[in-house]
Amino acid sequence: MSADRILGIETSCDETAAAVVSRGSNVMSSVVSSQIELHARYGGVVPEVASRAHVELLMPVVAQAVVEAGIGDREIEAVAATYGPGLVGALLVGVSAAKAMSMVWDVPFVAVNHLEAHLYASFLEEPDLEMPLVILLVSGGHTSLIVMEDHLRYRVLGSTVDDAAGEAFDKVARHLGLGYPGGPLIDRLSVDGDPTAIHFPRAMARDGWDFSFSGVKTAVVNHVRKNPDTPIPDIAASFQEAVVDVLIDKARRAAREIGAKGLCLGGGVAANSRLREKLLDVCVEDGIRAFLPSRAMCTDNAAMVAAAAWWRLEADGPSSLSVGADPSLRLPVL
Ligand code: KG4
Ligand code: ZN
């Protein structure tokens, strides 16, 4: 089954987003309303606060996305929403609203996996990416090294055994008293720091495909305790370098091993300047294609949800209205 214009909805964490995307790649509108300021004073996302904010923000965000797309409600041909993984209350807001709209407009409902949506962010800007691809999916809740063999066909080579990369950025930033979310703050501070100032551990760098980031976080905490006068930009840059080194090293090895046509990034941490720079460098050296989605498409948004929905609808048809939120949903693998 196919639908040209899909309305995507994303409410899995602290962004309330809606977008209209045509044929899985033409972004007609993409509206993201961030709740960062609401959660910043608590130093992280408070689930109950997030759900309530989604309830208030979702319909105005959807209305704006439809208006910005320059179409009427009746020109929407399917409604898609993220149904997991994420915060259950937050997910339920998007899923319930999407089902209601699909019933009112009599169009299909498509339940979308948030991780698959992050993978499809790349195809929004580059619909003809050649496969197999190695995709490094790095967000606040997930860190995985994925081989995409073909559309909707994945293998997970490895994942984090403890903290996700974004979680490590957020925890280190909190310890350094920088605020929330930590990734963008550490990224910005690192520009003025020396990445070689402190050698933080590169855990599991050489063994297997899994990652571990809780050790580097503890190493930062211990370093600050013993050396309280180290300039914060040097700590930020050295920490960032340690995380990026491990991510790039494994992604590069994976690409070589499977003979990938390209290497892609997905998820919020994919907005990191140093990660983007290093990925480009290694791809040039290895003669493979590098693909970096724009920063706005790396962090949570609904255009990626509508893109993934387009492929899912073609392959599997509409989702049942009995599908509910699934907070611990995994990527469907081969
Ligand atoms: O994908 P995302 O928007 O939400 C989840 O699905 O988790 O990712 C959010 C994560 C946060 O941990 C945030 O600190 C991190 O992405 N992040 C960054 C950067 N921008 C966002 N980490 C490092 N550098 C950045 N520039
Ligand atoms: Zn995400």
Asked if residue 330 is part of any domain, the answer here is no
Asked if residue 334 is part of any domain, the answer here is no
pLDDT bracket for residue 35 (50, 70, 90): confident
- What percentage of the chain exceeds 90 in pLDDT? 90
| 25 and 46 share one domain | yes
| 39 and 49 share one domain | yes
Alpha-carbon distance of 186 to 202, in angstroms, equals 18
Interval 148-170: pLDDT, tens: 999 999 999 999 999 999 999 99
166 lines ligand 1 (CB under 6 A): yes
Q: What is the mean pLDDT of the chain?
A: 96
Ligand nearest to the CA of 247: 1
pLDDT bracket for residue 41 (50, 70, 90): confident
Q: Would the pLDDT of 235 be above 90?
A: yes
- Note the pLDDT of residue 334: 80
Asked if residue 332 is part of any domain, the answer here is no
| 188 and 309 share one domain | no
pLDDT bracket for residue 279 (50, 70, 90): very high
| 279 and 197 share one domain | yes
pLDDT bracket for residue 333 (50, 70, 90): confident
Query: What single letter denotes the amino acid at residue 183?
Result: G
163 lines ligand 1 (CB under 6 A): no
Asked if residue 150 is part of any domain, the answer here is yes
pLDDT bracket for residue 52 (50, 70, 90): very high
Q: For residue 180, how far is its CA from the centre of ligand 1 (angstroms)?
A: 10
| 221 and 303 share one domain | no
| 173 and 256 share one domain | yes
299 lines ligand 1 (CB under 6 A): yes
In this structure, the residue with its CA closest to atom 8 of ligand 1 is 268
- Structural domain harbouring 103: 5-119+297-316
| 237 and 302 share one domain | no
- Note the pLDDT of residue 207: 83
Asked if residue 333 is part of any domain, the answer here is no
| 44 and 151 share one domain | no
| 64 and 205 share one domain | no
**Angle at Cα 155 formed by Cα 151 and Cα 156, nearest 5°?**
130
- Note the pLDDT of residue 148: 97
| 186 and 107 share one domain | no
Alpha-carbon distance of 223 to 209, in angstroms, equals 27
Interval 75-100: pLDDT, tens: 999 999 999 999 999 999 999 999 99
| 277 and 140 share one domain | yes
Asked if residues 32 and 17 have their Cβ atoms less than 8 Å apart, the reply is yes
Asked if residue 190 is part of any domain, the answer here is yes
Count structural domains, the chain.
2
Asked if residue 124 is part of any domain, the answer here is no
- Note the pLDDT of residue 307: 97
Ligand nearest to the CA of 299: 1
Arithmetic mean of pLDDT, 126-135:
94
- Note the pLDDT of residue 36: 82
- Note the pLDDT of residue 3: 85
| 248 and 208 share one domain | yes
3-state SS string for the chain? CCCCEEEEEECCCCEEEEEEEECCCEEEEEEEEECHHHHHCCCCCCHHHHHHHHHHHHHHHHHHHHHHHCCCHHHCCEEEEEEECCCHHHHHHHHHHHHHHHHHHCCCEEEEEHHHHHHHHHHHHCCCCCCCEEEEEECCCCEEEEEEEECCEEEEEEEECCCCHHHHHHHHHHHCCCCCCHHHHHHHHHCCCCCCCCCCCCCCCCCCCCECCHHHHHHHHHHHHHCCCCCHHHHHHHHHHHHHHHHHHHHHHHHHHHCCCEEEEECHHHHCHHHHHHHHHHHHHHCCEEECCCHHHHCCCCHHHHHHHHHHHHHHCCCCCCCCCCCCCCCCCC
- Helices 182-190 and 273-286: crossing angle in degrees, nearest 10, is 70
Which residues are CB-neighbours of 69 under 8 A, at least 6 positions away? 5, 20, 28, 29
Asked if residues 19 and 29 have their Cβ atoms less than 8 Å apart, the reply is yes
Q: Which two tokens stand for residue 43?
A: 């130093």
Q: Would the pLDDT of 1 be above 90?
A: no
139 lines ligand 1 (CB under 6 A): yes
Q: Which two tokens stand for residue 106?
A: 């009599």
pLDDT bracket for residue 178 (50, 70, 90): very high
Asked if residue 331 is part of any domain, the answer here is no
Arithmetic mean of pLDDT, 68-73:
96
Q: Which two tokens stand for residue 226?
A: 């013993």
CATH code at position 25: 3.30.420.40
